[in-house]
Structure 1
Amino acid sequence: MWQMRLALKYIIMTLIAIICIIPIVWMVTGSLRPYEELFQYSSSLNWHLFVPVKFTWVNYKNVIFNDTNPFLRYIWNTAIVAGSVTGIVLVVSALAAFAFAKLRFRGKSIFFALFMSAMIIPGEVTLVPNYLLMNNFGWVNSYASLIVPSALSVFGIFLLRQFFADIPNEILEAAKIDGASIMRVFLRIIVPAAVPALITLGLMTFLGNWDSYLWPLIVINDDKKQMLQVAIASFSSLAGTDWSKILAASTIATAPILILFLFLQRYYIQGITMSGVKG
């Protein structure tokens, strides 16, 4: 009986994986088709739905070597912003989570409850206040407006705090008895033990900023400083939508994330299961 249940579970998981991967396969193969062939086989169930009749790299050429839309510049901008935000979030979240999990100070529970209450506020509610704040600082149309508002992650603090809370206090007390300072305990004990959780938070943060669209669209007007998803959306206009370029650009934008996840998925899964989002 248990073998049948195991086989059924694998069959269901395989079907779910196939359903999830079909759009990605169609996107990649569609980026290798001429524009006139793109929707020619979309309504028929045959192998040409996923295998192009005529392979072409012209869509990638038109995207990468485009003078009006410098796509490589957009990738560089997005990598700089996503990398900077990820680094800042990891440092700030780790320090704050360590304080909430292991340090004793007056009003800790109240402060933590206030932090958690920020998670229920939709991001759209803060768009106007954040824009006015960036405008007052003179940061509109600059990298600072993309990095600073995302530098604090309430979810990141919560995730790491749950992980840090499971680290035995006896280890920390033993280190303090040996003369280690609070910062030394944090750097030598807490951080090495929290590598899976830090990688998990890093992947989530990087992916969120890599795919950011609405906020860059609002605060960035200079095309040379624009982000990747806004650049991809620019291939669609009132004159029409160039789906071949969109598929090629989306494939290029997706590839780094898939590669990054494939290399770090072991730590990602471990970080989720160990820190879990448990109470």
Structure 2
Amino acid sequence: MIVKRLTLSIKYTFMAALALIALVPILWMVLGSFRSYQEIFQYATSLNIHLLLPVEWTLQNYIDVIFDEQNPIFLFIGNTLFVTIIVTILVLFINSMAAFAFAKLEFPFKNVIFVCFMSAMIIPGEVTLVPNYLLMNDLGWVNDYKALIFPSLVHVFGIFLLRQFFSEIPKDMIEAARLDGASWFRIYWNIILPSAVPALITLGIITFLANWDAYFWPLIVINDEPKQLIQVAIANYSSLAGNEWAKILAANTISTIPIIIAFLFLQKYYIRGISMTGMK
């Protein structure tokens, strides 16, 4: 009993230490957004409470960011929400149908096609950057949100994740539905999807975060400033004249709020989806 309690104590202490290591940069960002520019660097190398807590609290950074007419942050957040929500919905629909086909349907060369899909996971995104840009340019989609939406719709890891989850759904349930005259799409819509809500939410969160944090691709394909996304807009506070770190911290804190809210409401489904994937 003593050994078990000691093991649990060590385990929880280790987990708490890891959580603290992960939270410290976030706390420094949030609390640093309430500092003046000078104070950020004044205590950057000190090992005392003021490394995190500001000496003089100020809201000026948020006022400057929110009311900046040259960089209207809420416009950029709205652009990002628009693109991210559309991509997330379409990714869930398209990739869940592909995963359903790989998991429950029989067709020629299914395993070969699936292996080809999985092999795409090892290809770095930088390799496809130039071909994707040339394709968007040929289609006339440069400087249009279609260039941000359509290249992101096929999510190879998402297909793998959902296929593993769909494979656990009993075949007897599907065969019974087929005997009752249900079409494949009705089986997919009324049986498969309701049974895979945790996996769908997991993929939704992953897709949402990936598109919310996108920087390089929007920087390349979107030229008009009012159409730009939030991460590129935050980078505008950096210039040859210097980095406005106080504003950057405030803008990053504001842009993080939607992600934190979404994760707090959906975290139990996210954890369940990850833990149940691939388990018999």
TM-score interval w.r.t. the shorter chain? over 0.9
User: Which residue of structure 2 aligns with residue 273 of structure 1?
Assistant: 275
Rounded Cα–Cα distance in structure 2 between residues aligned with 1:197 and 1:48: 42
User: Which residue of structure 1 aligns with residue 236 of structure 2?
Assistant: 234
The CA RMSD over aligned residues, in Å, is 1.2
User: Which residue of structure 1 aligns with residue 254 of structure 2?
Assistant: 252
Rounded Cα–Cα distance in structure 2 between residues aligned with 1:204 and 1:151: 13
User: Which residue of structure 1 aligns with residue 189 of structure 2?
Assistant: 187
Cα deviation 1:30-68 (Å, max 9, x = unaligned): 001111211211211222222212111110111111111
- The alpha-carbon deviation at position 118 of structure 1 amounts to 1.1
Rounded Cα–Cα distance in structure 1 between residues aligned with 2:28 and 2:109: 54
User: Which residue of structure 2 aligns with residue 126 of structure 1?
Assistant: 128
User: 1:249 is aligned with what amino acid?
Assistant: A
Residue segments in structure 2 that go unaligned for 5+ positions in a row: none
Cα deviation 1:108-133 (Å, max 9, x = unaligned): 11111111111111100000000000
Q: Which stretch shows the higher mean deviation, 210-219 or 56-65?
A: 56-65
1:47 equivalenced with 2:54 (yes/no): no
User: Which residue of structure 1 aligns with residue 266 of structure 2?
Assistant: 264
User: 1:215 is aligned with what amino acid?
Assistant: W
TM-score between the two structures when normalised by the length of structure 1: 0.97
Rounded Cα–Cα distance in structure 1 between residues aligned with 2:158 and 2:82: 20
- The alpha-carbon deviation at position 2 of structure 1 amounts to 1.2
Q: Point out 4+ residue stretches in structure 1 off by more than 4 angstroms.
A: none
Aligned counterparts, 1:150-161, within 5 A: 150-161=152-163
Residue segments in structure 1 that go unaligned for 5+ positions in a row: none
- The alpha-carbon deviation at position 92 of structure 1 amounts to 0.4
Q: 1:35 aligns with which of 24, 34, 37?
A: 37
Rounded Cα–Cα distance in structure 2 between residues aligned with 1:181 and 1:133: 36
Aligned counterparts, 1:19-168, within 5 A: 19-168=21-170
Cα deviation 1:135-179 (Å, max 9, x = unaligned): 000000010011011011111111100100111101111111122
Cα deviation 1:1-42 (Å, max 9, x = unaligned): 111111000000001111110111110110011112112112
- The alpha-carbon deviation at position 184 of structure 1 amounts to 1.2
**In structure 1, the residue corresponding to 2:261 is in which secondary structure?**
helix
Cα deviation 1:186-227 (Å, max 9, x = unaligned): 111100000000000000000000000010011111101111
TM-score between the two structures when normalised by the length of structure 2: 0.97
- Percent of pairs identical after alignment? 60
Rounded Cα–Cα distance in structure 1 between residues aligned with 2:111 and 2:39: 60
User: 1:146 is aligned with what amino acid?
Assistant: L
Rounded Cα–Cα distance in structure 2 between residues aligned with 1:92 and 1:140: 23
Rounded Cα–Cα distance in structure 1 between residues aligned with 2:42 and 2:250: 18
Rounded Cα–Cα distance in structure 2 between residues aligned with 1:43 and 1:134: 46
Rounded Cα–Cα distance in structure 2 between residues aligned with 1:74 and 1:67: 12
User: 1:174 is aligned with what amino acid?
Assistant: A
User: 1:70 is aligned with what amino acid?
Assistant: P
User: 1:82 is aligned with what amino acid?
Assistant: T
Q: 2:210 aligns with which of 208, 211, 221?
A: 208
Number of aligned residues:
278
